[in-house]
Amino acid sequence: MLAGRRSEVAELNVHGRLRAELAGQLTGDPLHIGSHQFQIGDAVMTLKNDKRVGVRNGNRGVVVHVDIEARSMRVRTQRGDADLPARYLDAGHVGHAYAMTVNKAHGLTCDRTMTLGNDQVYRELAYEALSRGRLSNQVYMPKSCTLDIEEDGPHARTASLAESTESLDRGIRRRRNKHLALDELATVPIEAWPTVDLHAEKRRVEQVLGAAGPDRQRDLDSLLARRIVAVDDLAEANVGVESLRGRKRPLRERRKPDTELIRATSRADNLQDRFDRLDYEIASLETSQHRRRSHLAAHEADAHQLKAIEAVIDGRTDKAIARSVTDPPSYISKSLGRRPGRGQPDREWVRTVASVERYRVEHDITDKRALLGPYPEDNPFDQMDWEMIHNRVTETRQELGIERAPAPQALGIELPSIGL
Least trusted range by pLDDT, from 20-24, 130-134, 339-343: 20-24
CA–CA separation, 341 vs 345, rounded Å? 8
| Overall pTM > 0.75 | no
Which one-letter amino acid corresponds to residue 191?
Answer: E
Higher-confidence residue of 274 and 404: namely 274
Least trusted range by pLDDT, from 51-65, 177-191, 290-304: 177-191
Mean pLDDT across the stretch 62-73? 89
Backbone torsions φ then ψ of 37, nearest 5 degrees: -125, 135
Least trusted range by pLDDT, from 126-130, 163-167, 252-256, 381-385: 163-167
Q: Virtual CA dihedral for 11, 14, 16, 21, nearest 10 degrees? A: -160
% of the chain residues with pLDDT over 70: 75
Which one-letter amino acid corresponds to residue 380?
Answer: P
Contacts with 59 (C-beta within 8 Å, 6 or more apart), sequence order = 45, 46, 77, 79, 82
CA–CA separation, 374 vs 362, rounded Å? 14
Least trusted range by pLDDT, from 16-20, 33-37, 169-173, 352-356: 16-20
Mean pLDDT across the stretch 172-179? 55
| Cβ atoms within 10 Å, residue 129 | 27
What's the number of CA atoms in the CB half-sphere (13 Å) around residue 313? 22
Mean pLDDT across the stretch 46-52? 84
Q: Going along 34-109, which residue ranges are E strands?
A: 36-40, 43-46, 60-67, 72-77, 80-84, 94-96
Burial code (b: 16+ CB inside 10 Å, e: under 16) for 40-75 equals bbbbbbbbeebeebebeebbbbebeebeeeebbbbb
Q: Say whether pLDDT at 21 is over 50.
A: no
Tell me, what's the pLDDT at 183? 46
pLDDT in tens, 332-389: 888 888 888 888 988 999 999 999 998 888 888 888 888 888 888 877 888 888 889 8
Which one-letter amino acid corresponds to residue 88?
Answer: Y
pLDDT in tens, 81-94: 889 998 888 888 88
Tell me, what's the pLDDT at 237? 92
Tell me, what's the pLDDT at 185? 46
Which one-letter amino acid corresponds to residue 219?
Answer: D
Higher-confidence residue of 114 and 107: namely 114
Mean pLDDT across the stretch 226-241? 92
Average pLDDT value for the chain: 77
Higher-confidence residue of 61 and 104: namely 61
- CA neighbor of 386 nearest in space, from 350, 349, 415, 347: 415
Tell me, what's the pLDDT at 126? 72
Q: Say whether pLDDT at 102 is over 90.
A: no
Q: Say whether pLDDT at 55 is over 90.
A: no
% of the chain residues with pLDDT over 90: 15
Contacts with 306 (C-beta within 8 Å, 6 or more apart), sequence order = 202, 205, 206, 209
3-class secondary-structure state, position 320: helix
Mean pLDDT across the stretch 50-65? 85
Tell me, what's the pLDDT at 225? 94
Tell me, what's the pLDDT at 266? 93
What is the longest distance spanned by two Cα atoms in the chain?
103
Among 135-144, 155-164, 172-181, 328-337, which range has the highest average pLDDT? 328-337
Q: How confident is the model at residue 184 (pLDDT cuts 50, 70, 90)?
A: very low
Tell me, what's the pLDDT at 147? 45
Q: How confident is the model at residue 106 (pLDDT cuts 50, 70, 90)?
A: low
CA–CA separation, 357 vs 354, rounded Å? 5
Q: In what order do the strands lie in the sheet with 60-67?
A: 80-84, 72-77, 60-67, 43-46, 94-96
Tell me, what's the pLDDT at 7? 35
Which one-letter amino acid corresponds to residue 255?
Answer: R
Mean pLDDT across the stretch 94-110? 74
- What are the CA-CA distances from residue 262 to residues 230, 246, 266, 268 (Å)? 21, 14, 6, 10
Tell me, what's the pLDDT at 364? 81
Q: Say whether pLDDT at 131 is over 70.
A: yes
Least trusted range by pLDDT, from 126-135, 149-158, 311-320: 149-158
Contacts for 277-281: CB closer than 8 Å, 24+ residues apart? 278/223, 278/226, 278/227, 278/230, 279/227, 281/223
pLDDT in tens, 247-297: 888 887 777 888 888 999 999 999 999 999 999 999 999 988 888 888 888
- CA neighbor of 237 nearest in space, from 276, 266, 277: 266
- CA neighbor of 75 nearest in space, from 25, 119, 35, 41: 41
Contacts with 197 (C-beta within 8 Å, 6 or more apart), sequence order = 182, 185
- What are the CA-CA distances from residue 81 to residues 26, 60, 62, 67, 73 (Å)? 18, 11, 9, 15, 10
Among 98-107, 202-211, 247-256, which range has the highest average pLDDT? 202-211
